[in-house]
Amino acid sequence: MGYVNIIYMLGIPFIQFMNLLATLGMTWLEQVMAFYFGQIWSFIRFMVFGNLELSGKELNLELEPILVTMKKVENIVVDVDEIQLNKQLCNYLGKKIMKTRITLEAFVSMSTSITIDQKRAFQEMHMVVKHAEVLVRKCLCKELSWLDGAITLANVEEDVIEILLGLSWWTRVLKMTSADMEQSKVIQNTTKALRKQEKLLQKFLDANSFLQGQAKDDKDYLLAKLADVKGQHASASFISPIKTYNKEQILSIYLLARIMGDAENVTKEVDTQLKEYTTLTTLGKGGFGVVNEVTWLEKKCALKIINASNSSMEEKEVTILRSCHHPHIAQFFWYWKDDKKSYIMMEWMPRDLCTHIENQFQGGSYTPFKLHVAIDIMLQVANAMRYLHSRRIVHRDLKTSNILVQPNMEVFEGYLHVKLADFGTAKTYNMTETPSTQTPRKGTPAYAAPEVNFGQPVVHGEKSPKFPPKADVWSFAMVCSEILIGEPPFASERKATLRAKIIEHDLRPTLPNDCPGYLRYCITSCWELSPKKRPKFSTICRNLMLAKTMSLGIIPLDICNHLFLESNNIKNR
């Protein structure tokens, strides 16, 4: 018997003995010593024994929180009539969660213990289920009227898709950790899981899918309710010619116009009231204008006020924002203009990622984020960019100051909810457009891709590639480096020599020494000089999901190269 096993066998009875003494009347000092010895032993056991199994009692303790949260979601959707918004999608989500819960309970019934790897997978799945609980509770509209709730919950199918993909992935990971497998089998099963995830995403996005059908039913139901409220006002107006609007009527007319894209038919009286707001504070200023924190329709929002000289930029931004509905893209609420300025009312978030990173350092942190939180932030940004590129939209100014964040206290402490913003330089593209047709030097120089920042060609002998979205991929890599090191890319470099250093001497941001190889690969593959060699965001999302799983110690690090190769070979649609 090895010394490690002897220590392990002796350690558990010793802790039990110390706990017994505590129950027999130890002094407070002795109890404190026993408690901290237990904590230290738990840490030693984790560091030395890693993936040793936890007891059946510990298995139940680990599973209880997630099963309780799952049952909460199921109980909410049982009475579908209580749900005010997105009834069908919430019901669909509840059924999927119930199916996952049954799978977990079957797993428990066949297991007498749980490994450390499985514990981590359960924790990640719990995060996903908490997101589901938050969503369905919001759709109940217990704290707000359904009209107020509809301002932010009118389009949630992408939120539901994200939750369902998370449930699917972590369920597959749990199955992979339930048995000892050879490396070749782990590679095979993980690759299979990645392929199934991609197929599942495409299935959900199919216009003829069941999920999209449920989303359409929810939208039709909402439109009917809004029309009914609007119709009640029309009946009242017939009796009394004096046109007065209460809040419900204003919201119903506004929401109908926004959802249907029919702002021109908003009555003059309602239009006037939709332009009323109270300024609370200034969030930011620039050459374009100013962004203020305001109260609008009794809701805290961000109002972007744009100077008339930037009107073309603002019209493009509004067109793009109106068409985008994603959990990691700031929501658009309303738009109007006068002779001097234009106004874009948007979702409010407390700060941008750049400011949040600065605050982390001021708080005494040596690094902006823990590794698993950093990867989670990158994954949220990548998912938003995948969504944009799937709609033929390039951002062209991706940087930390254009990424808004909010502490995700509803789920787990330390995590952030991330949303992309500022689409003033964004544009649509088609697959035959070449970078030479793009406006050069768009975006912030430190984050902009070489082919945008310095012009073409940047690779000797390479013809102009037809991949304008790949400039966003370079910018994403710059953002990732800032998330890890806490300072903007090339902060200490002179602009005059930056071009030569990047193109001729392969200058790139310095990643931390302790950055694991799997994450280093995810980032460095995105800052390849040749746009052709940079991955698509669909591939980046898969690779980051692998990286997140590896950061939890669930997938062996010595097979990461094989898995990334397999991930890169999966066909992107």
Residue 118: CB partners within 8 Å, gap ≥ 6?
A: 174, 177, 178
Query: Does the structural domain 351-569 have CATH classification 1.10.510.10?
Result: yes
Q: What pLDDT, on the 0 to 100 scale, is given for residue 174?
A: 86
Where do the domains of the chain lie? 3-49, 57-205, 217-274, 278-347, 351-569
Residues 103, 110: contact at Cβ < 8 Å?
A: no
In three-state secondary structure terms, 507 is coil
**Predicted pLDDT at 114:** 74
The domain 278-347 is classified under which CATH number: 3.40.50.720, 3.40.1280.10, 3.30.200.20, 3.40.50.300?
A: 3.30.200.20
Number of CB atoms found within 10 A of residue 382's CB = 26
Q: How far apart are CA 326 and CA 415, in angstroms?
A: 19
Q: Which of 269, 272, 274, 248 is nearest to 344 (CA)?
A: 274
> How much is the pLDDT for 258?
93
* pLDDT at site 195: 95
10-residue stretch averages of pLDDT, the chain, 573 residues long: 42 42 46 50 47 54 86 93 96 96 84 76 92 96 95 97 97 80 86 95 96 97 94 56 76 94 83 95 85 95 86 76 94 91 94 92 77 95 97 92 88 85 69 42 76 72 64 97 94 86 93 95 96 95 95 86 90 65
Whole-angstrom Cα distance, residue 263 to residue 255?
A: 10
Equal fold, 278-347 vs 351-569? no
CA 142/CA 269 separation, integer angstroms: 30
Closest alpha carbon to 152 in 68, 247, 227, 222: 222
